[in-house]
Amino acid sequence: MSKTSSRLTYPMTRRTAVRLIGTLPWMAGGLLAACSTTPAGAHIAASPTVPATLAPGGTLDHFVAQQAAQDQFSGTLLVARGEQITLQRAYGWANQARHLPNRFDTIYALASITKSFTTAAILQLAERGKLSLQDHLGMHLGGFPPAIANTVTIGELLNHTSGMGDYTQTPQFLSEKGSWTSAEQTMTGLLDIIRQQPLLFTPGARYSYSNSGYVTLGGIVQQVAGQSYYDYIRQHIFRAAGMSQSDFYTRPQREQNALIAHPYSRRTESNPTGPRIDVSGTQEFIGGPDGGAYSTVEDMLHYSRALQAYRLLDKASTNLMLFGKSTPPSGKAPDRSVNGGSAGIATNLSMFPTLGWTVVILSNYDPDQNFTDLVKEAESLVAQV
């Protein structure tokens, strides 16, 4: 089983990356466009307790500025102690064709960070007695063959040990995704494809990262809650945490909203080593429970603080997400991070529960070594506090 690590692996893809909740043992091109320096509505800390390395003009500030100057980073970075933002920067273009720069309120695709929201939803329903992590899949969601319905548990889906694979690699998904024009069609279509996939191994036998498993969890959420997965997350996660700009934006919304960053990638079959190109036209109508959410850095800070203040889950469930068990470990706890990546999308949320720090880095460039280096630098500097 993959351990909960405080470091990114390289290269990162959509199928990597949930370090906060996906691997817990309890669940068996363009030039530099702009640099924003004073966030509207945000309070930059002037406290002497903020280390110089994490303050404006400090080590991290210089590091990300250098990356952006070399066109190695396009996105927004936020560092905060508690609710107080100590450093916030935005670089690059949100939309190169329209010459719209990334800003502090730019909305980015989150990729697999979405899985954290799906996990929180499942844990909320478990707290309310609507399901148990030991329940078999078939107790809450129909249409699966008995060999899957009666063997795979919700806990195994959460922990990527269910034996399910990755629907995104199937010919059926690639041929059908362009025909879906509503959230309902998307969820129905995804689940229909997943129901036809055989298990890769006996449930619980080993770890294998599974997007199919998290779409299935989204199906369980909407079946048990009696509302669409998307509406449940909007109400019980985004609204509850004060994430006012976060949503599962549809293709028309993404095309119309100037605040939503376009993804720029070199990782296409027709363009493996050339300049970055806008790949927004390749995205589905709406993303799924495995990677379809959009957010801002400040909304992700709100999520981090709401989670740690037990506003989304009770203490036991929160500790399961943060530490892998219902009670926090003794001594200084390590950081807990979630991240995601796909073509033109690289995201990371690092939380340091015992230190009170949060680092959010959202980018509309590929999840390459440059992004990994930035995350490592930020986490290392916080760990030295």
DSSP letter string over 262-315?
A: PPEES-BTTBSSS--EE-GGGS-SS--TTT--EE-HHHHHHHHHHHHTTSSS-H
State the Cα–Cα distance between residues 90 and 106, nearest whole angstrom.
9
Q: For position 146, what pLDDT does the model report?
A: 97
**Type of residue at 204:** G
Residues in the chain, pLDDT under 50: 1-48
State the Cα–Cα distance between residues 116 and 297, nearest whole angstrom.
15
User: Look-up: residue for tokens 């030295």?
Assistant: 384
Instruction: Report the CATH superfamily, name and number, of domain 25-32+107-383.
Output: DD-peptidase/beta-lactamase superfamily (3.40.710.10)
Q: For position 37, what pLDDT does the model report?
A: 38
User: What proportions of the chain, in percent to the nearest 5, are helix, strand and coil?
Assistant: 35, 15, 45
Closest by Cα among 340, 343, 367 to 271: 343
- In residues, how long is the chain? 385
Q: For position 219, what pLDDT does the model report?
A: 98
User: Look-up: residue for tokens 């300049």?
Assistant: 275
- Write out the H or E segment, with its range, that includes residue 114: helix 114-127
- Write out the H or E segment, with its range, that includes residue 357: strand 357-363
Q: For position 334, what pLDDT does the model report?
A: 54
The pair of structure tokens assigned to 63 is 């590091």
User: According to DSSP H, which parts of 196-276 are helical?
Assistant: 211-225, 229-233, 240-241, 251-256
Determine phi and psi for 337, rounding to 5 degrees.
-130, 150
End-to-end CA distance of the chain: 30
